[in-house]
Amino acid sequence: MSKKESNKEVSEERLKGLESKVNVLKEKKIRTEEKLKNLRKQKDDVIADLTSLGVTPKDLSNVIEGLETKIGAQFAEIDAQIPKDISDNE
């Protein structure tokens, strides 16, 4: 085999390798675009759910903090109503 033919085979192999890599990257791009599409849909669904509850995404942190405060207060109230001799035995 001549040097020219050898170089041609090497070039063809490299080209096939590059084509294979391009195809893999195309598939990854398609999968990534699908994931992005699904995530955007999920985001829209969550925003719609929040809106139906009267909460905007901007206010979400404040609403969560308020609910945590209420829950803490309710636990304290329940704890205060339990007789001390029962709660000490646990």
20 and 60 co-located in one domain: no
68 and 50 co-located in one domain: no
Give the torsion through C-alpha atoms of 15, 21, 22, 25, to 10 deg.
Answer: 180
User: Is 0.85 surpassed by the pTM of this model?
Assistant: no
60 and 50 co-located in one domain: no
Average pLDDT in the 60-88 region? Answer: 90
Q: Domain range spanning residue 30? A: 1-54
DSSP symbol at 82? S
Q: Count how many domains the chain has.
A: 2
Average model confidence (pLDDT) for the chain? 90
Contacts of 60 (CB under 8 A, 6+ apart): 50
Band of pLDDT at residue 9, cut at 50, 70 and 90 = confident
User: Which is more confidently placed, 5 or 66?
Assistant: 66
Would you state the pLDDT for residue 85?
75
Q: Hey, what long-range contacts does 83-87 have (CB within 8 A, 24 or more apart)?
A: none
What's the rounded Cα separation, in Å, for the pair 74 and 76?
Answer: 5
42 pLDDT above the threshold of 90: yes
